[in-house]
Chain A
Amino acid sequence: MTDIPASALRQPNFSPLPPPILPPTYTASQTIWQRLSNLSWPWRITWLYLSFFLFLPIVALVLKASSLGPLEIWKIATAPVALSTYNVTFLTALVASALNGFAGLIVAWVLVRYEFPGKKFLDAVIDFPFALPTAVAGLTLSTIYSDEGWIGSLLKPLGIEVSFTRLGVLVAMIYISLPFVVRTIQPVLQEMEKEIEEAAWSMGASEWTTFCRVIFPPLTPALLTGVAMGFSRSVGEYGSVVIIAGNIPFKDLIAPVLVFQRLEQFDYAGATVIGSVLLLISLSILIVINLLQSLGRRYD
């Protein structure tokens, strides 16, 4: 009984998989119908919901954009006003997320590695920008940074104006993207084995060397992911920025606000093109984030 051929063990009755669906021999529409009726209820709900609430709107935008013709798209997308909004949006978002990358790393480090009074409170408060509606964030930030505000009045003698300027855009972007950076770094730092660090410094490596050589490399994908997520959120942000900024073209007008203004003027073509540019950039960042995350998984 020792020499049973392997194929005998693979009897169809014991196969855990359902019988394979035969390749379609009907017309296309029948096949789709057949496939749909083969799906379980969760699948049907998922596809219907996604199609109606997500795919349909995206298709509407893409088709509207493609109906314009490449020359017109290029003209609208590279108009001076549009270019200036990209500059304000992306550059400011980059600065905001980079600043948060630096500060967020320290905040996450402190929260994971140290014990101090008020730590739990600090940890909980990080999520506040995430939970607070952006309109309220814009309102309170513009008050704080106005001439009579808590911080604005301190900056005024130095000649720094924040509310209704590009700095205001930066402040709003820093505010809304902070939780994304901290919450991406925190779990990675938490799981990092302290034994390796301890080994490093007990073998004579200085703290700085330990940080640069042992802690930082596996943390880099998480840090970059967090920064990219913060950047993505900042680029798309509307509510807080529209309230704190002056929304003046060539000065502090961001791309999402330009989309809104174009819609208000019933310039659907303009809104569509700039909206598509934003959509393309969001998708690119999403791909980058996914690549970074798969890079980060290598360290597991």
Chain B
Amino acid sequence: MTNSTETNSTGTHSNGTGSVGNQRIVDEAAQSGPRSHSNPGRPWRKWLLIGFAIFYVMIVVLLPALNVFVQAFSGGVPVFLSAFTSRPFLHAVRLTLITAAIAVPLNTIFGLAAALAIAHKNFPGRTLLVSIIDLPFSISPVVAGLMLVLLYGNRGWFGPLLEAHNLKVIFALPGMVMATIFVTMPFIAREVLPALEEHGTDQEEAAHTLGASHWQTFWRVTLPSIRWSLLYGLILCNARAMGEFGAVAVVSGNIIGKTQTLPLYVEETYVQYDTQSAYAASVLLACLAVVTLILKQLLERTTAHHHV
């Protein structure tokens, strides 16, 4: 931090000096380049704030993350690996993958459709519609699961109808997929919509003028232009879909080897005092989180956008 003393000196100049002093600050700021933006304050304050930020993030975020890996390997590598061969575990992995493989593509179609429908259009209730699409993020996952039970449970609206046709939604895969869809619904739309708005309509209009059909324009012009934002949304959607616990827990019944996803397996094994298995599964999910974050960072560098 070579220029911390420099900025410090400009700070003292600023106190009480008149327009001449101001001119000097401007000159010095111009000389010291982009660094001149760093706070004019005393360096100890800067390092105090940095220290606090690092300490806080370490206690709140980093230690728990690190603990997952330490606990998983605390019994040694063989014990860790043996957890991966148990039948309930493998089944949970399979079910997690199946759920995500249905929920994420469906949400992608919805997200693209919603973004295409809303972008570049002004109509009454537009803001409301955007808020409605975001709504699942504010609803508690447990309440989302409850809604599905009230609809499809055996005492729910469609319960008798489903029973008559021998279909099972609650305590079965369809319910779990619907719960996952509910909680991850907004991810794609909210990433793609701003990208579409920014992209404009000129290229699409040009494509239409040149005789391309709507479908051709979508595949050849629109989709390539929003591909990074779409991917960004997909990654976040997938992470949440594979990691969702609350909503899925309500509708799954948590039947071991039948309706247990990986997060449910983590909880179940923990409650059964099989901490080793819980942590082995947790490592897998934590790795998913790490990969998600790395991809997210890479994409943020390509698209230069920044939000949760």
Give residues in A with beta carbon < 8 Å to B: 40-43, 45-46, 49-50, 53-54, 56-58, 60-61, 64, 103, 106-107, 109-111, 113-116, 118, 122, 124-141, 143-144, 149-151, 174-175, 178-180, 183-184, 186-187, 190, 194, 198, 201-204, 207, 232, 235-239, 242-243, 256-257, 259-260, 263, 268, 271-272, 275, 278-279, 282-283, 285-286, 290
CB-based contact B113/A128 at 8 Å:
no
Q: Which of B14, B142, B244, B266 contacts A139 (CB 8 A)?
A: B266
B229 nearest CB across to chain A (Å): 16
B232 close to A (CB within 8 Å): no
Which partner residue on chain A sits nearest B36 by CB separation? A198
Interface of B is mostly: helix
CB-based contact B150/A272 at 8 Å:
yes
CB-based contact B142/A260 at 8 Å:
yes
Which partner residue on chain A sits nearest B128 by CB separation? A290
Give the B interface residue count (CB, 8 A). 102
CB-based contact A144/B147 at 8 Å:
no
CB-based contact A278/B140 at 8 Å:
yes
Q: Which of B52, B56, B67 contacts A140 (CB 8 A)?
A: B67
CB-based contact A268/B150 at 8 Å:
yes
Interface of A is mostly: helix
Query: Given A128-B289, A131-B289, are A54 and B143 neighbors across the interface (CB < 8 Å)?
Result: no
Q: Which of B68, B110, B134, B307 contacts A187 (CB 8 A)?
A: B307
A122 nearest CB across to chain B (Å): 6
CB-based contact A135/B140 at 8 Å:
no
Chain A to chain B contacts (Cβ below 8 Å), 24 pairs: A42-B114, A45-B109, A45-B110, A53-B185, A54-B182, A57-B148, A57-B182, A103-B56, A130-B308, A131-B243, A131-B289, A131-B296, A133-B245, A134-B246, A136-B266, A138-B267, A139-B279, A149-B67, A183-B306, A201-B11, A204-B14, A257-B142, A282-B139, A286-B131
Which partner residue on chain B sits nearest A130 by CB separation? B308
A18 nearest CB across to chain B (Å): 12
A258 nearest CB across to chain B (Å): 9
CB-based contact B117/A180 at 8 Å:
no
In the bound complex, CA of A131 to CA of B288 (Å): 8
Give residues in B with beta carbon < 8 Å to A: 1, 11, 14-16, 21-22, 25, 29, 35, 37-41, 45-46, 49-50, 52-54, 56-57, 59-65, 67-68, 71, 106, 109-110, 112-114, 116-117, 127, 131-136, 138-144, 146-151, 153, 155-157, 178, 181-182, 185, 236, 239, 242-246, 249-250, 262-264, 266-267, 270, 275, 278-279, 282, 285-286, 288-290, 292-294, 296-297, 306-308
Task: Name the residue in B50, B54, B293, B297 with the highest tally of chain A Cβ atoms < 10 Å from its Cβ.
Answer: B50
Residues of A within 8 A of B11 (CB): 201
CB-based contact B39/A113 at 8 Å:
yes
Q: Which of A41, A131, A198, A243 contacts B270 (CB 8 A)?
A: A243
